[in-house]
Amino acid sequence: MSQSVETHLKKIETWKRIMFMLLFMLIDSLVKMLLWLVVFTQTGSVLLTGAVNANILEFGYGLATYHYRITLFLTFNSEQLPFPFTEWQLNAEPSIIEHPED
Q: The domain containing residue 48 runs over which residues?
A: 3-74
Residue 100 lies in a domain: no
pLDDT in the model for residue 96: 56
User: Vertex 39, ends 38 and 45: CA angle to 5°?
Assistant: 85
Q: Is position 62 within any domain?
A: yes
Total domains in the chain come to 1
- 39 CB-side CA count, 13 A: 7
Q: What would the DSSP string read from start to end of 49-96?
A: HSS--HHHHHHHHHHHHHHHHHHHHHTTS--S--TTSS-----S---P
Q: Assess contact for 43 and 36: CB atoms under 8 A.
A: no
pLDDT recorded at residue 9: 84
Residue-wise pLDDT for 12-27, tens only, equals: 888 999 999 999 999 9
